[in-house]
Structure 1
Amino acid sequence: MITTADRLDANLDRVATTLIGAVAAVGGLLAALGVNSERINLLFDDDSAQELLLAAGALAILAVLASLTALMVQVAALEVAALGAGAACYVGGLLCALFAAAGAADYAAHPAVTSLSLVPGETRTVLSFTVGAGSLDEAQSVVVLVMGARTDGQLYESVMRPDETGRVEQVLDVLLPPGTPEVTVMAWRGDQSVQPPSCGSGRANVVCASVVVP
């Protein structure tokens, strides 16, 4: 005959077995939310996201340790206490992983300036480049600014909104005034800063690229 104590022990053992899979559960949650190896590397370069990932891993390991402890102890009260601590660590690890994954999604919204080139013309040189960004919301935008050195000043400016998939990708050609010695292309999140942030500040996810005009 199965007693109430036996049923309790069986239930506690099942809970302990479930909590042992906490590490796999945290990793599975990150994978399900699109955090691949490339995103993980980006997150580990960010201080706040790095702390969340380390906390998620540490809590998952603590959940496993608490579960193993619960399986080994014979006193029901201690087993319940260990499982309670393990469950708290399990939930905490999942929450940290969730917040880290949210940070990974925001990383995709960093603007990028690629394929920068100069195309000589008969009278004027053309600056060609591509601006891209992903995972943008409807209210978010990317501002592009092309500045000439010395007295040329602002040569081009535009505000780009995402398409229905949340992406911005545009090839731009800018005519340069004759005698322009150097140009700088800036792109940043317009929803985070109205004014152009300095290239070295990192504000508004700003990216800059400069090219010398021969």
Structure 2
Amino acid sequence: MGGAQEPSEPAGPSPLVIGEVQAALGKRLDDVAKILAGALVAVAGIMTTLGLNSKFVFVALNNRSWPIYVASLCAIIAIVCSIGALLIRPTGRGVLWETGVLVLGVIFYMASLSIAVVGAAQAAGGNGRPTITDVRLNGPRSGMRLHFGVHADGVQKWSHIEVSVNPKDSGDLYWSVLRPDEQGRVEQQIDIPLSPPAGTSVVEIEAVNPDESEPGACEAKAQHGPACTELHIP
């Protein structure tokens, strides 16, 4: 007598179970993709937290600060990766592709945050270039006084700003070295008597960071060139 044969157990998980696992995994990956979609907003928030407001952004862009551009590019790539991952179907191979795309997006997202920190620090720190402000010449020629201000941000603590006043094509009438404070800032008001040699009609004021200065005259298109002012004596 032949007994009834019991149905054999399936060799592996049923397609229904596999589909449920893939759907659950795809749902989790989709959540990660949605988080990465806000990468640009998150990077902007990090920059704002570090004090990189619109003023510093304009300074960084004006100085062609590469971290700002690279951080923005990495954030955009992270967003593209997240959107691409959301469009992949949660099949067996699709889950693998979605995982790979999201891993790439996370890498670009973390790189964007790290580079944004560098960019915020650079922009907030200034560029070390001096500027000459508030130039005034008071009194008659026999007793003139010269007043001007020197300002610079982001000067390295071991560096300095050199300031000189001299008749054009002649030796110095005044020369000084200005050191930065603890925040890398130089802010100095200079008020000196001016007694130029007879026949002098033009006096030059120059401020330069010798550690950052690039060769060339005052008019040269150099990012770290000297700041110069010509003062015509009546």
TM interval, short-chain normalised? 0.7 to 0.9
Match of 1:190 among 181, 199, 210: 210
Residue matched to 2:158: 139
Classify the secondary structure of the residue corresponding to 1:154.
coil
Matched, 1:69 2:65: no
Match of 2:177 among 159, 168, 180: 159
Match of 2:144 among 107, 110, 125: 125
Residue matched to 2:61: 44
| TM-score normalised over the length of structure 2 | 0.76
Distance verdict in 2 for CA 1:122–1:82, change over 3 Å: closer
Distance verdict in 2 for CA 1:53–1:67, change over 3 Å: same
Residue matched to 1:87: 106
| 1:115 CA drift (Å) | 0.4
Matched, 1:210 2:196: no
| 1:77 CA drift (Å) | 0.6
| 1:116 CA drift (Å) | 0.6
| 1:158 CA drift (Å) | 0.8
Residue matched to 2:128: 109
Matched, 1:174 2:189: no
Classify the secondary structure of the residue corresponding to 2:113.
helix
Matched, 1:78 2:97: yes
Residue matched to 1:97: 116
Classify the secondary structure of the residue corresponding to 1:44.
helix
Matched, 1:60 2:75: yes
Structure 2: 5+ residue stretches without partners = 1-16
Classify the secondary structure of the residue corresponding to 2:143.
coil
Residue matched to 1:14: 31
Classify the secondary structure of the residue corresponding to 1:143.
strand
Tell me if the contact between 1:134 and 1:168 (Cα under 8 Å) persists in the aligned partners.
yes
Q: CA-to-partner distance for each residue in 1:7-63, whole Å, 9 max, x for gaps?
A: 53343233212211110122122223332222222322334x2x5433322321221
Distance verdict in 2 for CA 1:142–1:101, change over 3 Å: same
Distance 1:187 1:122 in 2: 24
Aligned residues, how many?
209
Distance 1:99 1:156 in 2: 39
Distance 2:194 2:206 in 1: 16
Distance 1:37 1:119 in 2: 39
| TM-score normalised over the length of structure 1 | 0.82
